[in-house]
Structure 1
Amino acid sequence: MTQAPPGRINVSDAVPNTKRGGDIRVTLSPRTTGCASGFGGVLWLEPGEWITEHYHPYSEEFLHVVAGELEMTLDGHPVPLGPGDSLLVPIAVRHRLVNTGTVKAHVVFHLSPLAPRPELGHVDTEQPLNPDGVNPDVGGTR
C-alpha cells in the first residue's frame, strides 16, 4: 500500500462549509496539513446561489474560476467572472460572490497570510445563510 505524500488532501475528504452559502471545502489549512502561510480549497455554487458578504482583515484572497459565470462584488462594485478568470480580493475589501449563470460554478481559492487567530480571519457584513454549517477544518492550532 502506498501512503499519500505529506500535505496531500483529496477534496472528497474535506468537510463542506455551508455557513456563508454554497459548498466550500478547505483542503489545505493549518489544521489539515500544518501549513503556516495561508489556506485554500475549492467551492461550488449552484445557479442563483451566493456566498454572503464578508471581508478578511488580515488576508488577501485569490480566486480562479474553473467553470461557471459569476459576479464578485468588491466594496459594492460588480466584477463579472467566467472560466479562466482569476481575481485578487485585497485585504479588508468587502466581497460577495454570486453564481449568475445557468450551470454549477467551480472556483479554486487561497487566502494568505493567516490571521493571528482563526476566529479573526472573516468578518461577516451580511447574516450568514447557515450559521451552523461551519467547517471544523478551517483555522485551528498552528
Structure 2
Amino acid sequence: MHLRPEAHATMVFDWGSIKWLVSPRHIDGAKSTLGEVVINPGRGHERHSHPAADEVLYVIDGEGVQMVNDEEAFPVKAGDAIHIPAGVPHSTTNTGWRTLRLVVTYTPGGEEAALEQAPGYTLLPPGTVPAWVPEASA
C-alpha cells in the first residue's frame, strides 16, 4: 500500500502538527501507528503517557530536549532515536530556531486517538496546510 501525506488529515495543536500515515483507524488490519510530528520553534507538548503502547521517536531534523519517565530532560538532534515504554510519562520541546521533525510509532497502534482530547486540537482535512502563529514577543 502506497501512502501519500497529502491524502491524510493533519492534527494541529498550539505547539505543532501531526500527520498519521499508518493507523489501525484508517487501515484495516494495521497493528501499529506511524506518523510525522512537527514541533514549532520554541514550542513543545505537555507531559503525557500512552498507557497501552510503546512509543518510538526518531528525530529527522532539528534539535530539542526530551524528557522520559520524569527524569532530567536530555538533548536530541537529527539521527537520535528514543524508546518510551507504555505508560511512561514524557514530553518533547523544540529548542532550536527551525522546526523539530520526528517520525513517531506506537506499538500496538491506536494511541493517536487520545490526542483528539488534547487542548487546542484541530483536524485539518487532507490537502490543507497548517499555519503556524508564533508567540508574541514580550
CA distance in 2, matches of 1:94, 1:86: 17
Residue 109 of structure 1 is matched in structure 2 by: 104
CA distance in 2, matches of 1:113, 1:84: 23
Q: Report how many aligned residue pairs link the two structures.
A: 124
> What TM-score does the superposition give when structure 2 sets the normalisation length?
0.77
- Contact in 1 for aligned 2:22/2:30 (Cα 8 Å): no
> What TM-score does the superposition give when structure 1 sets the normalisation length?
0.75
Unaligned ranges ≥5, structure 1: 1-5, 137-142
Give CA-to-partner distance per residue, 1:61-107, whole Å, 9 cap, x none: 01100100011111222121100001101110111111011111111
Relative to 1, partners in 2 of residues 1:51 and 1:35: Cα closer, same or farther, differing over 3 Å? farther
Relative to 1, partners in 2 of residues 1:111 and 1:67: Cα closer, same or farther, differing over 3 Å? same
The alignment status of 1:128 with 2:93, answered yes or no, reads no
Q: Is the partner of 2:118 in helix, strand or coil?
A: coil
Residue 49 of structure 2 is matched in structure 1 by: 55
CA distance in 2, matches of 1:130, 1:52: 12
Percent of pairs identical after alignment?
25
Unaligned ranges ≥5, structure 2: 126-138
Moved more, 87-96 or 33-42: 33-42
The alignment status of 1:10 with 2:4, answered yes or no, reads yes
Instruction: Quote the offset at 1:48 in angstroms.
Output: 0.7
Measured on the aligned residues, the alpha-carbon RMSD in Å equals 2.6
Give CA-to-partner distance per residue, 1:15-59, whole Å, 9 cap, x none: 111247311111101133224311111011111111222111110
CA distance in 2, matches of 1:20, 1:46: 9
Q: Is the partner of 2:66 in helix, strand or coil?
A: strand
